[in-house]
């Protein structure tokens, strides 16, 4: 039927949202992220510093746009209830499950040294 999404159309996406803003006491940031984790369970990782935070999680969606849209809204939707810092989204990465999984294979490869070259 038209407009219906089958189970086969839904894909798994790994989403990483990076937010940043004015520096805050790291313990305050940590507490806010703990509240976010309680309100939105199943986050896969939380990293933070005094002036930024990174949130990673898995999401289901038909398209990358579906997962990216939620990722862009996540911080603002929980800002008041989790008492999150008034920071803005400065980065968003959304990759399909196969891409994320294939990256793990690259960890075993020898790192190539990247050297900056002048123009």
CATH class of 7-99: alpha beta
Domains of the chain by residue range: 7-99
Confidence of residue 118 (pLDDT cuts 50, 70, 90): very low
- Condensed to tens digits (0 to 9), the pLDDT of residues 64-74 reads 999 999 999 99
**10: which 2 tokens?**
């839904």
- From CA 44, how far away is CA 71, in angstroms rounded? 14
- From CA 29, how far away is CA 23, in angstroms rounded? 10
Distances (CA, A) of 72 to 3, 51, 66, 115: 25, 18, 10, 33
Distance of CA 94 to the CA centre of its chain: 8
pTM of the shown model:
0.81
């Amino acid at each position: 039927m038209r407009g219906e999404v089958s189970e086969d159309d839904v894909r798994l996406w790994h989403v990483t949202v990076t937010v940043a803003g004015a520096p805050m006491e790291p313990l305050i940031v940590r507490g806010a992220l703990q509240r976010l984790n309680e309100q939105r369970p199943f986050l896969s990782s939380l990293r933070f510093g005094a002036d930024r935070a990174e949130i990673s999680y898995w999401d289901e969606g038909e398209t990358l746009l579906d997962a990216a849209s939620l990722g862009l809204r996540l911080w603002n939707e929980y800002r008041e209830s989790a008492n999150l810092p008034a920071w803005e989204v400065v980065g968003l990465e959304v990759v399909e499950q196969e891409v994320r999984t294939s990256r793990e294979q690259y960890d075993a490869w020898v790192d190539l040294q990247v050297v900056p070259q002048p123009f």
